[in-house]
Amino acid sequence: MVGGISEGYYGIPKLLRNKALELLPEELRAVLINAYKLKKEQSKIEELERE
């Protein structure tokens, strides 16, 4: 739980993120990448709503 909070607050260095993704099985990697894409799209929508 703390890792997820820390990621949201501090982010994850690209080098570390890419290395971790390399170690995951393809199916799990795809799920995780899609989740990050969805989060990014949601952030854009929320930003537009605030304007």
**Residue 51: inside a domain:** yes
Please tell me the pTM assigned to this model: 0.63
Name the phi and psi angles at 46, rounded to 5: -65, -35
Q: Where are the alpha helices (DSSP H) in the chain?
A: 2-10, 14-23, 26-50
Q: Token pair of 7, please?
A: 């990621």
Per the CB < 8 A criterion, the answer to whether 40 and 32 are in contact is no
Tell me the residue range of the domain where 39 lies.
Answer: 25-51
pLDDT > 90? residue 36? no
**Residue 15: inside a domain:** no
How many independent structural domains does the chain possess?
1
Please classify residue 29 by burial: count the beta carbons closer than 10 Å to its beta carbon, then call 0-12 exposed, 13-18 middle and 19+ buried.
Answer: middle
């969805």: which residue's tokens?
A: 38
pLDDT > 90? residue 19? yes
pLDDT > 80? residue 1? no
